[in-house]
């Protein structure tokens, strides 16, 4: 056992050490892995641990600041009939028409690929709808959420893709996930 960790070293009669040596002793004992045996050991270790934690947390907060103070999520207001989601009614109808004209092909593809499973037909149709929404996102320069919001507005208000078309189907096939 080193002298530093030996309590007998502090016994009365021991020669007085220089201050610098006394001050470094807790450091040496920590460095050696000796358990705390004096108050100065404990104080040094608490200070060291706290300091390390403060440095780590400071760096962590600095590094991950974009997550702790995130940019706000885009907000929209749907109350105004003429201008919704930042789009005029005409623009919204154009988006709806883009999506609605592609729906029959999506329904047909769903039936073709899953001829016996009604829920899968619907799900497959929805996948094509997703692809079309991605195209519309690029074509109209608005977000995917806006495309779907406009499409739902059209379903809700029974808009038609053209004068001969029927409104889009507003009902669903109940959940029946494939095994």
Partner 1 sequence: MTEPELPSEAAIPTPRKSRDHLVDRLLSLFGVRLLLWFWLAAAFLPGILVDVQKVGNHFDEHFHFQHDDAARRTMVDYGQLPVWDPYTCGGIPGAGNPQTTFLAPDFGLRLLFGTEPGRRLAILLFSILGLEGMFLLARKHDATATGAAVGAIIFTMSGRFTHLIDRGWLNMLPFYLFPWIVLAFEKGLKSTRWRIFGGALLGWMVLCGGTYTYPYAVVLLGLLMVVELGQNLFPAQREVGAKWYSPILAVVTMGAVSVAVSAVHVFPMLEIVTGNPRPVETRTHFSAPDLLSHLTKAATGDGIDWTLAYIGLSVLVLAAFGALTSNKAARRFGALAVAFFLLGMGDFGPWAPFTWLVELPVYGQLRWPQRFLLPVAMFVGLCAGLGVSVIERAPAQLLGYMHKRWARPAAPGCRADGRFSHRKFSEIGENRSWASEATNPNWARWAWVGGGVVALFVGWYAAYRIGDAIGLNLAASNAIRVGRVFNDAPPLYDPDAEFTQARGNRWDAHVWPGLNQGMLACLEANKLPQSLLLRADLEQEEYPLDPAVASVKRVSWTPNAIELEVDAKEETLVLVNQNYHRKWTADVGEVVDHEGLLAVAVPAGVATVTLKYRDWAFEAGFWLSLLTVLALLAGLGVSGWRWLGELRGRWRAWGSGP
Enumerate residues 25-64 that contact partner 1 by CB under 8 A.
Answer: 25-26, 28, 30-42, 48-57, 59-60, 63-64
Interface characters, 103-132, with partner 1 (x: CB under 8 A): -------------------xx--xx-xx--
Chain centroid offset of residue 74 CA: 15
> Residue 108 or residue 126: which is nearer to partner 1 going by CB?
126
Interface with partner 1, residue 141, by CB under 8 A = no
Interface with partner 1, residue 16, by CB under 8 A = no
CA distance 69 to 89: 35
> Residue 58 or residue 88: which is nearer to partner 1 going by CB?
58
Q: How far is the CB of 91 from partner 1 (least distance, A)?
A: 16
Among residues 95, 136, 149, 161, the one that binds partner 1 under rule CB under 8 A: 149
Among residues 15, 121, 164, 179, the one that binds partner 1 under rule CB under 8 A: 179
Q: What is the DSSP letter of 82?
A: S
Q: Please check whether residue 97 is in contact with residue 162, taking contact to mean a CB–CB distance below 8 angstroms.
A: yes
> Residue 164 or residue 179: which is nearer to partner 1 going by CB?
179
C-alpha dist (Å) from residue 116 to 62, 110, 113, 161: 56, 10, 9, 28
> Residue 23 or residue 108: which is nearer to partner 1 going by CB?
23
C-alpha dist (Å) from residue 133 to 33, 46, 61, 89, 100: 63, 58, 38, 18, 11
Q: What's the token pair of residue 136?
A: 């519309």
> Residue 51 or residue 89: which is nearer to partner 1 going by CB?
51
Among residues 15, 20, 72, 162, the one that binds partner 1 under rule CB under 8 A: 72
E strand or H helix at 95, and its extent?
helix 89-101
Interface with partner 1, residue 156, by CB under 8 A = yes
Q: What's the token pair of residue 94?
A: 């154009």
Among residues 118, 155, 160, 165, the one that binds partner 1 under rule CB under 8 A: 155
Chain centroid offset of residue 104 CA: 35
């Amino acid at each position: 056992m080193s002298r530093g960790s030996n309590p007998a070293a502090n016994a009365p009669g021991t020669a007085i050490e220089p201050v610098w040596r006394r001050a470094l002793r807790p450091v040496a004992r920590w460095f050696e892995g000796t358990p705390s045996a004096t108050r100065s050991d404990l104080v040094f270790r608490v200070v060291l641990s706290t300091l390390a934690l403060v440095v780590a947390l400071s760096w962590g907060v600095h590094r991950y600041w974009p997550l702790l103070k995130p940019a706000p999520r885009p907000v929209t207001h749907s109350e105004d009939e003429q201008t919704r989601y930042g789009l005029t009614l005409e623009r919204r109808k154009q988006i709806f028409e883009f999506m609605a004209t592609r729906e029959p092909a999506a329904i047909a593809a769903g039936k073709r690929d899953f001829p016996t499973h009604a829920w899968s037909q619907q799900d497959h149709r929805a996948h094509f709808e997703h692809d079309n929404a991605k195209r519309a996102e690029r074509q109209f320069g608005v977000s995917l959420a806006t495309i779907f919001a406009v499409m739902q507005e059209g379903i809700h208000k029974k808009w038609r893709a053209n004068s001969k078309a029927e409104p889009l189907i507003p009902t669903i096939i109940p959940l029946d996930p494939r095994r």
